[in-house]
Amino acid sequence: MLGLTLLYVGAVLFVNGIWLMGKIANKEVAIINFLVGALSLVVALYLIFSSSTNAGSIKAGAFTLLFSFTYLWVAANQFLGSDGKGLGWFCLFVSITAGTMAIQALGQLEGGFGIWNAMNWSAWTVLWFSFFLLLALSRNIKKPVALLSLLCAIFTGWIPGLLILSNIIVV
């Protein structure tokens, strides 16, 4: 499930980065955010409630919900015409939560997956914090956040998702 989720996290981050550059209309970007939010919600619920549920799958599901709720909230904001301040404050919560995962992953740097996992959680921590600054505090950082979204799309989602789905990387 990780490869599937990462591939679409890469897709939504890529499109959101392009949107932040002003190349996509608000209502149009809502579509991919809704679809990826719904997909990651299904994945999270499966991880939490399937018959093979254990502490690890519940943890994975809980952290997947951070992504799901973010994308669903972005989609809702576009349809409702909201300013995003509430989402920005949620992004602070998510950034702090992701930061704890980054620290935990740094303590578990066994092999390539451990290093990749720590780098991903660190990148996502910075990305969510940048959305807090952009949305909640109205900082004028749209272009850098757009670029960071594109980089995270490619290197924390799209490429790893493709490599996992192609069995080039086995997790």
pLDDT at 20: 97
Residues 6+ apart with CB under 8 A from 1: 43, 46, 47
pLDDT at 75 over 80: yes
CATH homologous superfamily of 2-165 equals AmiS/UreI transporter (1.25.40.600)
Q: How far apart are CA 164 and CA 13, in angstroms?
A: 18
Q: Which of 62, 158, 74, 136 is nearest to 101 (CA)?
A: 62
Share of the chain above pLDDT 90, in %: 89
pLDDT at 79: 92
Q: Are 93 and 99 in contact (CB under 8 A)?
A: no
pLDDT at 111: 78
pLDDT at 71: 98
pLDDT at 13 over 90: yes
pLDDT digits (tens, 9 = 90+) for 30-57: 999 999 999 999 999 999 999 889 999 9
pLDDT at 134: 98
Q: Which of 132, 133, 128 is nearest to 97 (CA)?
A: 128
Q: How far apart are CA 74 and CA 84, in angstroms?
A: 8
Place of tokens 């392009």: 18
pLDDT at 171 over 80: no
pLDDT digits (tens, 9 = 90+) for 126-146: 999 999 999 999 999 999 999
| Better-predicted residue by pLDDT, 73 or 115 | 73
Share of the chain above pLDDT 70, in %: 100
pLDDT at 108: 85
Sequence spans of domains, the chain:
2-165
